[in-house]
A and B are shown apart, each in its own frame.
Chain A
């Protein structure tokens, strides 16, 4: 079976939008900070995908270059986020962060 379908930018864009929404929704729904961080990674990846596919369509390298920087940002964010989680969990040895929140919105 052959697909006569050409995959244009819109397909990539739709996929990236889907990933972004899953990421954003997951961040709001999940309450585990680690999973929340992963959801942030999903959002950033969605943006990356959009960057690259736009770059491809326009034949511009800027999209790919932007992704490189987003990668660095993602790495730096994760490091700090995880460090904060480790710090919190060290103060709260009895696990559940459910009780942790002294500060309520």
Chain B
């Protein structure tokens, strides 16, 4: 804590104690990134994309493995969650779950990225470095127990993502997507930061624990400043997770950015954004839930309906999935709105299952989009079932999953969210969410019709020649298996998310 700071008599500097094992997952990713950068700038040998992919996967797996002893420790009744560096970074089931989710998405995305970068003839380790650093930012966000740390985590995550979106220098769309993403992302950061400043003024600290304790102990005579700060923070988060009415960047960015990194945005960045949002809203400002719940309620309804309605009228696959991802953000907001442990668990379940489905979907799209990666029109999947049956089956599983058809993980995710929100007796929201699911189903049916029920008039040579590289088929297999397995047997993940309840720990 900061109390004693200005009166430290001695000149010796006492640095706070650090639990290195607690920080290990983040450290492994960051160190791997820096090490890679160093190696590549020092050695003249060309490192192939495949080697880089393997390196990144190994780093991410290392990070994933490092979370396991932590998870066991945190679940241990006698030890429980803890925080380190004077309470700056909390290690609880929640942050560890999000960490695992992020590392898994890094593994899957780096496999896709390897193939993509090779086909686009982009060399160099930078995209992998940025991917790793971005995930580090996500981990920091998930565990941040201080608004400043949270803000820095968001910036690490997003600034890397801006670069990744603009990565493909050959295509102007990519840079324009990057530009748009950057401008609006920075705009959102501005809101978030100003909100943090106001909250700092209202509560006297940027530390989440202190804020929560302050709000619990103190009856504010005038909470205007606090509410203004809260509103600005919600706006900032809403931008980051692409919730209506702050969603308009998403379709453009999704369409223009390189497909593997779009998969990363839709899975990992969304997960990190919701993790931060849940920790701030549910845990820190749980006392003020009566004030923020209606706002989230409204945003959720608008996001659900607008996302699924606008998705229907699109003709580009990536834009369709962008709008559908907006609509999925609506579901996550529904879970957030519940403001209960069950709601948090549901959101985590949703995030985890959605990550696999969306990465899988974008993997299919990036395979199917031709050599230049530009053929993402809806018609590009026409007759996919005839050309590449396995690819079509995998895509179908992902689409049905996103539509929420039973025996896919997507159904159980929706079910869980609705269950959580009904337990809080928001029946209206539950009904709207299910209506949005029906509207959304139309979108997925449109794609399915093209895949299965439409015969291609002219089979182009290129179209026939889809070769599925090993890494991508690995990603597709994993995603399909997870989607189906969790659809039939969701119990393991349910148990896990129910233990991943966020807590705030002082140092």
A-to-B contact residues, CB < 8 Å: 9, 13, 16, 20, 23-24, 27, 33, 36-37, 40, 43-44, 46-48, 50-51, 54-55, 57-58, 60-63, 65-66, 69-70, 73, 76-77, 80-81, 83-85, 87-88, 91-92, 100-105
CB-CB under 8 A from A51, the residues of chain B are 197, 200
CB-CB under 8 A from B248, the residues of chain A are 105
CB-CB under 8 A from A92, the residues of chain B are 172
- CB atoms of B206 and A44 under 8 A apart: no
List 27 A-B residue pairs with CB atoms under 8 Å apart, sorted by A's residue number: A13-B201, A24-B191, A27-B183, A40-B187, A44-B193, A47-B193, A47-B194, A47-B196, A50-B201, A51-B200, A54-B197, A66-B197, A66-B200, A69-B152, A70-B151, A70-B193, A77-B155, A77-B159, A81-B186, A87-B169, A91-B172, A92-B172, A100-B172, A102-B256, A103-B173, A103-B177, A103-B252
> In the bound complex, how far is the Cα of B5 from the Cα of A80, in angstroms?
35
**B residues 175-226 with Cβ under 8 Å of A?**
175-180, 182-183, 186-187, 189-191, 193-194, 196-198, 200-201, 204-206
The 8 Å CB contact of A91, one of B175, B183, B189, B251, is B175
The 8 Å CB contact of B148, one of A69, A77, A105, is A69
- B162 in the interface (beta carbon within 8 A): yes
CB-CB under 8 A from A104, the residues of chain B are 252
CB-CB under 8 A from B151, the residues of chain A are 69-70, 73
Minimum C-beta distance from A49 to chain B (A): 8
Given A43-B194, A44-B193, A102-B176, decide whether A76 and B159 contact each other with a Cβ distance below 8 A: yes
The 8 Å CB contact of B6, one of A23, A61, A66, is A61
Given A47-B197, A102-B172, A103-B252, decide whether A66 and B190 contact each other with a Cβ distance below 8 A: no
- CB atoms of B155 and A85 under 8 A apart: no
Find the A residue at minimum CB distance from B190. Answer: A43
The 8 Å CB contact of A77, one of B189, B191, B204, B252, is B189
CB-CB under 8 A from B182, the residues of chain A are 77, 80-81, 84
- CB atoms of B206 and A73 under 8 A apart: no
- CB atoms of B176 and A88 under 8 A apart: yes
> In the bound complex, how far is the Cα of B252 from the Cα of A16, in angstroms?
32
- CB atoms of B186 and A40 under 8 A apart: yes
CB-CB under 8 A from A37, the residues of chain B are 183, 186
Find the B residue at minimum CB distance from A49. Answer: B197
**B residues 125-156 with Cβ under 8 Å of A?**
148, 151-152, 155
Minimum C-beta distance from A75 to chain B (A): 11
CB-CB under 8 A from A69, the residues of chain B are 148, 151-152
CB-CB under 8 A from B172, the residues of chain A are 88, 91-92, 100, 102
Minimum C-beta distance from A61 to chain B (A): 6
- B2 in the interface (beta carbon within 8 A): yes
> In the bound complex, how far is the Cα of B176 from the Cα of A85, in angstroms?
9
Given A24-B190, A84-B166, A103-B176, decide whether A36 and B183 contact each other with a Cβ distance below 8 A: yes
CB-CB under 8 A from B5, the residues of chain A are 61
Find the B residue at minimum CB distance from A87. Answer: B175
